Amino acid sequence: MPPKIRQSSNDDQPPRRISATNIVLWGFLAIGAFYLIAEHRANLLGWLPWLIILACPLLHIFMHGRHGGHDHRGGSSSSPSSKRPPHQH
């Protein structure tokens, strides 16, 4: 008879406690992020319009999933994608 493999479950482990080290680490990270943002706000706001403009083509590229593509032929074809409605902007 083969030995049974015991599957671990969350019931076997004691609940995780938040250690003092983690609290101190998150505190330092929060303080550092605050001062980084406060001191470099002018630089960040200067780049913000360019980041928004850059996000437009990136979203267009990555957010167009499998929705039929850009078929501008207008005619019917024998491909399986012809059952989908044509893409319109």
Confidence category of residue 57, pLDDT binned at 50, 70, 90? confident
Judged on CB neighbours under 10 Å (0-12, 13-18, 19+), 25 is exposed
- The structure tokens listed for 69 are 């593509």
Cα(68)–Cα(82) distance, integer angstroms:
8
pTM for this predicted structure: 0.37
Query: What's the mean pLDDT in 24-35?
Result: 96
Closest CA to 71 of 56, 62, 83: 83
Contact of 84 with 71, CB cutoff 8 Å: no
Residue 65 has pLDDT above 80, yes or no: no
Cα(71)–Cα(2) distance, integer angstroms:
58
